[in-house]
Each structure stands twice: as C-alpha cells, then as structure tokens.
Amino acid sequence: MTSQPSLNRFEQLKAAKDGLAVKDELEQFAALGWEAIDKSDLEHRLKWLGIFYRPVTPGKFMLRLRIPNGIITADQMHVLAEVVQRYGDDGSADITTRQNLQLRGLRFEDFPDIFRRFKAVGLTSVQSGMDNVRNITGSPVAGIDGDELIDTRDLVQAVQDMITNKGEGNAEFTNLPRKFNIAIEGGRDNAVHAEINDIAFVPAYNAGELGFNVLVGGFFSARRCEAAIPLDAWVPPTAAAVVGICRAILTVYRDYGLRSNRQKARLMWLIDEWGMERFQAAIADHLGHPLTPAAAKDEIDWDKRDHLGVHPQLQPGFSFVGLHIPVGRLDAAAMFELARLAEVYGNGEIRWTVEQNVILPFIANENLPMFLAEPLLERFRLEPTPLTRSLVSCTGAQFCNFALVETKQRAVAIAQTLDQRLDIPHRIRIHWTGCPNSCGQPQVADIGLMGTKVRKDGKTVEGVDIYMGGTVGKDAQLGTCVQKGIACDDLIAVLESLMIEKLGATPKAPAP
Ligand code: SRM
Ligand code: SF4
C-alpha cells in the first residue's frame, strides 16, 4: 500500500480489526445479545457479513444478500421466505437496485441458524456492505434471450467466487478503500446500467471476435457522480479473462486507492490522480501482459427493456414473464408464492431486475393461460399503469438513517395519483432516492427525485430536488438537477406540469 498522509476513521477501524473477523464471533455475539456487541462491530464490521444494524429500528436487523446475476432458485427463495415469516409484520424483503434482496426485521439471536440454512442451499451474504464489492449484476435475461450476445451468468458467478472465496469470505478483498460496483452486460440494451459501475463489461466485437470492452470509474456519491469511462481494454468472454482483469483492477485499487479523505476514495478519484495511462500500465503490470485495446464500438444499440409481460424465450416453446413488484417490496406470503410459481410453472428459477421487479423463466407456452390466471398476478401485474410501471425507489426513512424523506410509500401514492390524472404517451421512468447518496439512481431516470429538507410556511418539511434527462440503454447519459427544494406536499402539481410541458403527457378526459 502507498503511504498516505492520514487515514480516515474507517481506515483506522479496519486497521484495528478486519471487518471479516466478526465471522468467527457471530455465535458468541448471538449468545450475548446485540446490546452487548461493541459499537464498532455492531454498526460497521457486521456489514462484512451483510448484517446491518438499523438505528431507525433497533433490534430489528437488515440482512443484505449476494445474488449473482440476480438469479435464485425456488429452494433458496423458500428459505428466505421462511426467515422473513418468523418476524410477522416486521418481516419483509426488498428487491434492490443491484438485482439483489435485503431481508428486514431479523433478530440477532437467529443469525447463526439463518446462516446455517443459507449454507445448506448455497446462499451467502458475505462482503455485501461497507468497503467491499457489492452484488455483481448481469443481464437479467441471460441464457433465455434470443437476442443475447454473451451469457453473463457463469462470468458473474466466477467473479463473485474470486472476490468472496466462494461465499466463505476472502481477506484479500475485504479492505478496499471504499465500496465497489461491478456489472457485466451481455445484451444489447444495457439492462444493468453498466455506466454507473466502478467496472463494467459491455459486449463488443474485436476483429470479428465477440468479447467485452471494459469501462471503469462510474459511481454516484453525495459529492460527485460520474459515468464510467473507457479503460481502452477488450477481453474475451471467458471466466479467466473477466476474473483476471477484475482481480487486477481490484488489487491496484486496494493497494493504491486513496484512503485519507473518504469522500474521495472511489476508484475514479484514483484514476483522476494518476491519469488513465498510469492506471492502465498498473493493470497491465498486474496481468503480466499488455491490455488488448478496446474495440472501436460496443454493441449496446437498443433502448432499455423493462422485461414486464410475456416474452418468447430463446428455448422454443417457452416464455419468460416479468411481473411488476411495486417499489420492490415483498412479504413472506408473496415470497412463498413466487417460489411456488417458479416450481410449478417454470424451471425453479426466479430472477430480479435492477428496476426492482421479477422475471419467471421457462414457462411452457401451453401453461401460460393457467399461469396468467394465478391470483398473485392481480397483485404483481404484467401491465401496471404507466408511471407505476417504471417506478424505482430506494429504502428511504422507514429503515434508513441517512434518509431525509420517506420514499417508497410516497413514490407509489404519487405515481398512482398522476396515473389517474394523465395520459402518458411514452414511458416515464421515475426514480426516488431519499438522500444524496443516490441509491435509487435518480441520475438515470427521466425524472429523478432526491430527498432533501425544505422550508415551507416557516417549518422544515420533507422535499425533493428534481433531476431530469437521464437516459438509459444506448447512449446512456446521466441526468442533472433541474429544480431544487420542492416540498413533497407540492410535488404532485409540480410533476403534473413537468410531465405535460416536457414529456408529452396530457390531462385525462373527465369521466362522463
Ligand atoms: Fe446504497 C449507503 C441502500 C444501491 C450509493 N445504501 C447505503 C446504506 C447502506 C446506508 C445505511 O447504512 O443505511 C443503505 C441501506 C438502507 C437500507 O436499510 O436498505 C443503502 N443502496 C441501498 C439499496 C438497498 C437501495 C435500494 O432500495 O435498492 C441498494 C442496495 C444495492 C445492493 O444490493 O447492494 C443501494 N447505493 C446503491 C447504489 C445504486 C447502484 O449500485 O447501482 C448507489 C449509487 C451507485 C454507487 O455506489 O456508485 C448507492 N449507498 C450509496 C452510497 C454513496 C456511495 C459513495 O461513494 O459515497 C452510500 C453511503 C456510503 O456508502 O457511505 C450508500
Ligand atoms: Fe438511504 Fe439515502 Fe441510500 Fe436512500 S439514498 S437508501 S435514503 S442512503
């Protein structure tokens, strides 16, 4: 590691004791009770196991999983549903903006048992928080999309296995300077938002051979948001090549990433400080061979799909069906039902999307009518109303102590109201995020709403800054802030005007 002027307090915390060390102490912590756990272990190191203490709901913990490529089996889902069910009304799960699941309401004393059950079905939550690589995203229709270029599933799994030592925890990569995101896109529509990841792989032909161009340094933070930039490197679509370059970049970042100011610790800040040439040379040095220059163009040339509804599958005679899960919130009953539907009608797979929705693949076409009549589809619809359809929301004030506003419930209520009032000719993607950390990715949305506090009638109330102009798919571009400090109570009127003036919406004709 380079010597750096002074280490920030999180670096000191990690130097005092590695985050992963709590793995061996879990049984003891559970026996003692969470109140007896040292504060720095409770609030920080437990995140290396995916366990998040929630100051908003003390004693009710959140567990963030790792779901490579967003795919789980019905057996795994069954276990997750059983875990959530234990906690009655406190238990729930959220589909995250990284194609992942977070379980809520968990009691600390149950974690040893929960982890034993996870191990039995091949689930892991290791290294999913703090200064680790987050859930690795891949094309949600990998292996079932007739237009796919590269199947990302094994590649994502191989990268996760390298980083986490097959889910057991890997001390080599548990002390990065900051969080780190990796995405592998195998389709033409950039379903994973490649450009907002620290490393992104996008399909590209190099002299007729299909592989990936590599992008680096994309990230959002309260201080700065950047789209990823080309590393000017191309790799073949093999696990060895993809894992190799991820390992090289992570090693360089781990050893040279900036550790004094935590606000400047993401990968892009190191690239800025070094310049791309020096960064590339360091990666090549680690690989032991020069980088193959990037292909002149990538193959992302479609608009982004949302996968809702029934779609013919690569495999003849089968369809995949995308169901809309309002702002990604699930309860135990819905989780059991999804597992059942996947088993009865599909091949047992359940897939999550970064839009916080679900895809059930391998539904035999002759069974579609029966499947489409299942009661769960009245709740999780194939064709929701236009604004509800493309709604994404971060956790917000219900569980997140960074939040400046409540997000999920408000997001749904406002979308439903505007859906009743407006005819929407084109999809309008609205993303809510409860604070400037941007977990809800407001910068990729047509309309992004970022929580803030505003003064109204002499009082401080919940409000938002409005972002617009985010585009996805081909030519993806980050949106920017267009209006600041709108009180949430005034938001419906402001959004209604914006949609009419700028996005082609028209008021619905009054009912006769
Ligand atoms: Fe995030 C911190 C939730 C995706 C940027 N994020 C948090 C914490 C852990 C804060 C906390 O301890 O309370 C939130 C947990 C709240 C809770 O109880 O759920 C949280 N982030 C989420 C999730 C659940 C939002 C969602 O509803 O989907 C997403 C979980 C993804 C996953 O499965 O791992 C989530 N977070 C993101 C994304 C979007 C993405 O990855 O595409 C971003 C922006 C992209 C990026 O990171 O470059 C994001 N989260 C942050 C940041 C700002 C990072 C920075 O460099 O400053 C923080 C704050 C931090 O890390 O200090 C943060
Ligand atoms: Fe919490 Fe802010 Fe992230 Fe929303 S954006 S989950 S409020 S940290």
Does residue 219 have its Cβ closer than 6 Å to ligand 1?
yes
List of residues 6+ apart from 269 with CB closer than 8 A:
257, 258
Does residue 438 have its Cβ closer than 6 Å to ligand 1?
yes
Instruction: Judge whether residue 512 has pLDDT over 80.
Output: no
Measure 382 CA to ligand 2 centroid, in angstroms. Answer: 28
Residue 361 pLDDT: 98
Does residue 274 have its Cβ closer than 6 Å to ligand 2?
no
Report the C-alpha gap between 332 and 324 in whole angstroms.
Answer: 17
CA 405 to chain centroid, in Å, comes to: 20
Residue 149 pLDDT: 98
Q: Of 64, 305, 40, 333, which is closest to residue 190 (Cα–Cα)?
A: 305
Which residue has 């998040």 as its token pair? 52
DSSP state of 177: S
Q: How far is CA 56 from CA 107, 218, 415, in A?
A: 14, 30, 26
Summarised one tens digit per residue, pLDDT across range 18-67 is 999 999 999 999 999 999 999 999 999 999 999 999 999 999 999 999 99
Beta-bridge mates of residue 360: 321
Residue 475 pLDDT: 86
For 245-284, give one letter per residue: b (16+ CB within 10 A) or e. bbbbbbebbbebbbbeebebbbbbbbbeeeeeeebbebbe
Structure tokens at 201: 């792989």
User: What residues act catalytically?
Assistant: 64, 178-179, 434, 439-440
Q: Of 185, 439, 472, 478, which is best to mutate to test ligand 1, by the most ligand atoms within 8 angstroms of its C-beta?
A: 439
Q: Which atom of ligand 1 is nearest to the CA of 96?
A: 28
Measure 407 CA to ligand 2 centroid, in angstroms. Answer: 9
Measure 27 CA to ligand 2 centroid, in angstroms. Answer: 30
What pLDDT band is residue 7 in, cutting at 50, 70 and 90? confident
Residue 465 pLDDT: 98
Measure 68 CA to ligand 1 centroid, in angstroms. Answer: 17
What is the mean predicted confidence (pLDDT) over 389-397? 98
Strand, coil or helix: 463: strand
Instruction: Judge whether residue 275 has pLDDT over 60.
Output: yes
Residue 3 pLDDT: 52
Sign of the Cα pseudo-torsion (359, 362, 365, 371, in order): negative
Does residue 68 have its Cβ closer than 6 Å to ligand 2?
no
Report the C-alpha gap between 486 and 385 in whole angstroms.
Answer: 25
Q: Which atom of ligand 2 is nearest to the CA of 400?
A: 1
Question: Which ligand is the nearest neighbour of the Cα of 407?
Answer: 2
Least confident span in 276-290, 469-483, 492-506: 469-483
What is the mean predicted confidence (pLDDT) over 411-423? 98
Least confident span in 3-7, 133-137, 213-217: 3-7
Q: Which atom of ligand 1 is nearest to the CA of 193?
A: 42
Q: What percent of the chain has pLDDT over 70?
A: 99
Fold observed for domain 388-507: Sulfite Reductase Hemoprotein; domain 1 (3.30.413)
Within 217-348, strands assigned E span 219-220, 225-226, 229-235, 309-312, 318-323, 329-330
Q: Which CATH class is domain 7-127+307-383?
A: alpha beta
Q: Are 432 and 392 in contact, with CB atoms under 8 Å apart?
A: yes
Beta-bridge mates of residue 202: 213
Measure 433 CA to ligand 2 centroid, in angstroms. Answer: 6
Which residue has 């370059």 as its token pair? 245
Instruction: Judge whether residue 191 has pLDDT over 90.
Output: yes
Measure 397 CA to ligand 1 centroid, in angstroms. Answer: 13
Q: Of 64, 225, 402, which is best to mutate to test ligand 2, by the most ligand atoms within 8 angstroms of its C-beta?
A: 402
Report the C-alpha gap between 407 and 183 in whole angstroms.
Answer: 26
Residue 473 pLDDT: 87
Residue 68 pLDDT: 98
Question: Which ligand is the nearest neighbour of the Cα of 257?
Answer: 1
More confident residue, 476 or 338: 338
What pLDDT band is residue 5 in, cutting at 50, 70 and 90? low
What is the mean predicted confidence (pLDDT) over 467-489? 95
What is the mean predicted confidence (pLDDT) over 70-79? 98
Q: Which CATH number fits domain 176-306: 3.90.1150.200, 3.30.930.10, 3.30.413.10, 3.40.50.720?
A: 3.30.413.10
Q: Which atom of ligand 2 is nearest to the CA of 395?
A: 6
Measure 286 CA to ligand 2 centroid, in angstroms. Answer: 35
What is the mean predicted confidence (pLDDT) over 199-223? 98
What pLDDT band is residue 79 in, cutting at 50, 70 and 90? very high
Which part of the chain is CATH 3.30.413.10?
Answer: 176-306, 388-507
Q: Are 503 and 446 in contact, with CB atoms under 8 Å apart?
A: yes
Question: Which ligand is the nearest neighbour of the Cα of 403?
Answer: 2
Average pLDDT taken over every residue of the chain: 97
In SS3 terms, 42-97 reads as HHCHHHHHCEECCCCCCCCEEEECECHHHEEEHHHHHHHHHHHHCCHHHCEEEECC
Burial class (CB in 10 A: 0-12, 13-18, 19+), 89: exposed
| Nearest alpha carbon, ligand 1 atom 45 | 220
Instruction: Judge whether residue 1 has pLDDT over 60.
Output: no
Does residue 220 have its Cβ closer than 6 Å to ligand 1?
yes
What pLDDT band is residue 4 in, cutting at 50, 70 and 90? low
Does residue 411 have its Cβ closer than 6 Å to ligand 2?
no
DSSP state of 151: -
Report the C-alpha gap between 354 and 269 in whole angstroms.
Answer: 26
Q: How many CB atoms lie under 10 A from the CB of residue 314?
A: 15
Measure 434 CA to ligand 2 centroid, in angstroms. Answer: 5
Beta-bridge mates of residue 63: 51, 103
Does residue 141 have its Cβ closer than 6 Å to ligand 1?
no
What pLDDT band is residue 6 in, cutting at 50, 70 and 90? confident
Greatest CA separation for the chain? 74
Does residue 441 have its Cβ closer than 6 Å to ligand 1?
yes
Structure tokens at 325: 């899960």
Q: Of 141, 158, 159, which is closest to residue 150 (Cα–Cα)?
A: 141
Question: Which ligand is the nearest neighbour of the Cα of 177?
Answer: 1
Does residue 449 have its Cβ closer than 6 Å to ligand 2?
no
Summarised one tens digit per residue, pLDDT across range 123-155 is 999 999 999 999 999 999 999 999 999 999 999
Which part of the chain is CATH 3.90.480.20?
Answer: 7-127+307-383
